Amino acid sequence: MDITDKVAVVSGGASGLGAATARRLASEGARVGILDFDAERGAAVAAEIGGHAVKTDVGDEASVAAAMSEIVDKLGAPRVAVSCAGIGLAARIVGREGKLSTDLFEKTIRVNLMGTYFVMSYAAREMMALEPEDTGERGVIVNTASIAYQDGQFGQAAYSASKGAIAAMCLPAAREMAKQGVRVMAIAPGLFNTPMMEGLPEDVTAGIVANVPFPHRLGEPAEYAQMVSQIVANPYLNGTTIRLDAAVRLPQR
Ligand SMILES: NC(=O)c1ccc[n+]([C@@H]2O[C@H](COP(=O)([O-])OP(=O)(O)OC[C@H]3O[C@@H](n4cnc5c(N)ncnc54)[C@H](O)[C@@H]3O)[C@@H](O)[C@H]2O)c1
């Protein structure tokens, strides 16, 4: 799909992979709506790229519904929806002295999985009401998993479960939306140089970088954004999860 003059919605567009995606799609001529919890940084990115930001909690359906209708009012119905909003909390299932991490599990599923599902659902409904392009496409949805969906590390049960579900729903969603010409893809990033990574202990980051075969470094957010752009451009990409990881496989810890 040619993105020029189209509307793209990016959740998590205030930071990291989402901000890079918002900038890239805007540079290709899209009008970009940013849905992010961080209103200040969301507004700053939106101002920089001539887009529109809405303070949104993606884990709250009513918040996503309201944000989507504000984007439609301000910019128009989206042809592209990219979900980058997410959290990366880690905890043992059974911690010290038997402390369970069920709260963390629930929160991670709510933000990462339900948040992605809500953005996809509300965007897809808008896309389905649009006329198809010459290619037959009405829209493109790109969700963000993580290589932790396959190589989950110690303490990542909640995160891996949330990302595994994002990868797993990609094919059934693509099959369901095929008739309307909406493609659904997921990207499973390796280790990228974003604020989310700053939260990790230094030795964890250094250990993972040591395992990255080539290029032997963290990924840059612009490289993730490039992948989104390539997915949008290529109509034959549908129903699958692409690992964008420089051949890294995460070790146990
Ligand atoms: N950075 C990496 O190495 C990496 C690797 C694999 C997967 N990912 C995934 O990529 C996505 C983006 O990660 P990032 O590194 O850019 O993180 P980031 O922390 O830089 O950005 C995440 C954004 O999501 C927003 N957000 C968090 N909770 C929200 C909520 N409930 N509602 C709305 N917005 C919310 C934050 O405000 C922030 O702007 C996440 O889903 C993450 O799991 C990142």
Ligand 1 pocket, residue 57 CB under 6 Å? yes
With the most atoms of ligand 1 within 8 angstroms of its CB, the residue from 194, 200, 249 to mutate is 194
Q: Which of 20, 148, 44, 133 is nearest to 87 (CA)?
A: 148
Ligand 1 atom 16: residue of nearest CA: 16
Domains (ranges, CATH) in the chain? 7-244 (3.40.50.720)
Give pLDDT tens digits for 62-80. Answer: 999 999 999 999 999 999 9
Residues contacting residue 174 through CB under 8 Å, at least 6 positions apart: 183, 184, 185, 238, 239
Given a cut of 50, the residues of the chain with pLDDT beneath it are: none
What are the catalytic residues? 159
Q: What is the pLDDT of residue 23?
A: 98
Q: What is the pLDDT of residue 134?
A: 95
Give pLDDT tens digits for 142-170. Answer: 999 999 999 999 999 999 999 999 999 99
Ligand 1 atom 20: residue of nearest CA: 16
Instruction: Determine if the pTM surpasses 0.85.
Output: yes
